[in-house]
Amino acid sequence: MTNGQLEISALDPLDHDTVDQWLELCQTVDDHDFANFETPSEAELLLGHMARPEEVRRLHWVGSVDGSVVSCAEARLYDADNTHLAGATVKVHPDHRRKGYARLLLGAIEDQARREERTTVVSWFLKPYEGSGVDGHAVGFAAAQGYGPTLETAVRRVDLLEVKEDRLDALYREALAKAEGYRIVSFPDPAPDEYAEGIAYLEGRMYTDMPLGDMDLQPAEITVEKVRARERQARRRGLLSLRTIAVHEETGTVAAMSQLETAPGDELIARQGDTIADPDHRGHRLGLLVKIANQRQLRSYRPRIRYVHTGNATVNDHMVAVNEAMGYRMLGMAECYQKELA
Ligand SMILES: CC(C)(COP(=O)(O)OP(=O)(O)OC[C@H]1O[C@@H](n2cnc3c(N)ncnc32)[C@H](O)[C@@H]1OP(=O)(O)O)[C@@H](O)C(=O)NCCC(=O)NCCS
């Protein structure tokens, strides 16, 4: 497809020259716009492009001028649940902005979404605020394309080298005293069979229990098969997924869980995934217990990782309090923008 100067084409994984340029562009934009935030490593980008999708298809395009890649786009098409949704990411080289390239690439994503009968496109943007060091380009762009803000998120990170282990020990001991009748179990995924059903149930609750603002995320039925598919997919993308659960001894119920993952080729940052306590088992500090235990599991599996990053809705006071107690500190703000397709 040719649009004036910008030529948009699907990224062919066997076109090595273009793939190299795509990786270099992603690195340049990430260094320029997302320094200190977690960004996908080259290995994660490559494996994400190649791995057979099971729940979420990732389509990649590059935008080139005179044969040089200056921009790229990723569409995420949710195929297992929330099939009305598409996710979008667009990146433009800092020297090539305000030329309309991102508008064209986002247009390509929206066209694809329409062809697949998606009705909503969502995209995450860093949010500028006083002292954030984030410029207003991305949110200015989002608004100009008809996207509106739906969910404000604070991104925090903990520096594992700075964490006071004796303070964590004290927190853990204090919490354990309120969690009589529960046992804490940590493992790298795949989850042992006996816990898979309980994990599926809690993963399903993530769609309804976490604050969603105006984001158009619908409830999903998460089955054991889907849990296994997610685990397979993570493995194929080179992600190490570490999980800790709290089990209610009397009933065997998985009462709480926390998951985090590390990306291939990234020895600096791990990413916090879902943390949730079943409403029937709240008030026992299980959230704190599973998070601390999982952080320790990370330290034993990947001792060189220095930071864990997490994003929480700014209104999620309880989760934020747990994170602050564990030493997480504010890094920046992000916002989910959304557009209903006509
Ligand atoms: C956001 C980003 C993709 C925009 O790329 P771009 O090619 O400069 O955007 P376009 O030229 O297509 O802009 C289209 C319109 O968006 C609006 N816009 C773009 N940048 C803007 C800014 N800094 N302030 C206000 N409006 C802006 C304008 O209406 C612009 O049209 P105009 O130039 O005719 O006024 C680019 O800044 C970028 O790569 N940022 C880092 C990655 C990122 O944050 N991506 C967003 C997550 S998906």
Q: What is the DSSP string of 277-342?
A: E-GGGTTSSHHHHHHHHHHHHHHHH-TT--EEEEEEETT-HHHHHHHHHTT-EEEEEEEEEEEE--
- Do residues 233 and 223 lie in contact, with contact meaning Cβ atoms separated by under 8 Å? no
pLDDT over 50 (residue 127): yes
* 4 within ligand 1 shell (Cβ under 6 A): no
State residue 320's pLDDT score.
93
* 5 CB neighbour count, 10 Å cutoff: 14
Ligand 1 neighbourhood includes 337 CB (under 6 angstroms): no
What pLDDT score was predicted for residue 278?
97
Give the pLDDT score at 180. 97
Mean pLDDT of 61-71: 97
Give the mean model confidence (pLDDT) for residues 278-287: 96
In this structure, the dihedral spanned by the alpha carbons of residues 134, 136, 139 and 142, taken in order and rounded to 10 degrees, is: -130
Per-residue pLDDT of 75-126, as tens digits, reads 999 999 999 999 999 999 999 999 999 999 999 999 999 999 999 999 999 9
**Residue 298 in contact with ligand 1 by CB distance below 6 A:** no
Question: 33: Cβ below 6 Å to ligand 1?
Answer: yes
- Per the CATH hierarchy, to which homologous superfamily does domain 2-118 belong? Gcn5-related N-acetyltransferase (GNAT) (3.40.630.30)
Which ligand 1 atom sits closest to the C-alpha of 99?
Answer: 11
Q: pLDDT tens digits for 20-39?
A: 999 999 999 999 999 989 99
pLDDT digits (tens, 9 = 90+) for 215-264: 999 999 999 999 999 999 999 999 999 999 999 999 999 999 999 999 99
Q: Could you give the CA distance from residue 164 to residue 167 in angstroms, rounded to a whole number?
A: 5
Is the shortest distance between the CB of 94 and ligand 1 below 6 Å?
Answer: no
User: What's the chain's average pLDDT?
Assistant: 95
Residue 101 CB less than 6 A away from ligand 1: yes
Q: What is the helix (H) or strand (E) element at residue 151, kind and residue range?
A: strand 148-159
CATH 3.40.630.30 in the chain is located at 2-118, 157-331
User: Per residue in 204-240, is it b (16+ CB within 10 Å) or e — as a string?
Assistant: bbbbeebeebebbbeebebbeebbbebbebbeebbbb
Residue 147 alpha carbon to ligand 1 centre in Å = 12
Q: How many CB atoms lie within 10 A of CB 146?
A: 15
- Which whole-number Å values give the CA distances from 20 to 36, 42, 65, 205, 317, in the listed order? 23, 10, 16, 40, 43
Q: Which of 93, 234, 248 is nearest to 183 (CA)?
A: 248
Check residue 1 and give its pLDDT. Answer: 46
pLDDT given for residue 4 in this prediction = 52
- Residue 97 Cα: closest atom of ligand 1: 8
94 preceded by cis ω (within 30°)? Answer: no
Superfamily of domain 157-331: Gcn5-related N-acetyltransferase (GNAT) (3.40.630.30)
DSSP state of 94: G
Amino acid letter, 303: P
Residue 2 confidence (pLDDT): 46
> Once rounded to an integer, what is the mean pLDDT over residues 127-147?
93
**pLDDT value at residue 16:** 97
- pLDDT for 342: 85
Tokens representing residue 182 in the block: 């529960």
* 3-state secondary structure (DSSP) of residue 258: strand
Tell me what the mean pLDDT of segment 256-274 comes to: 96
Of 230, 154, 118, 241, residue with least CA distance to 189: 241
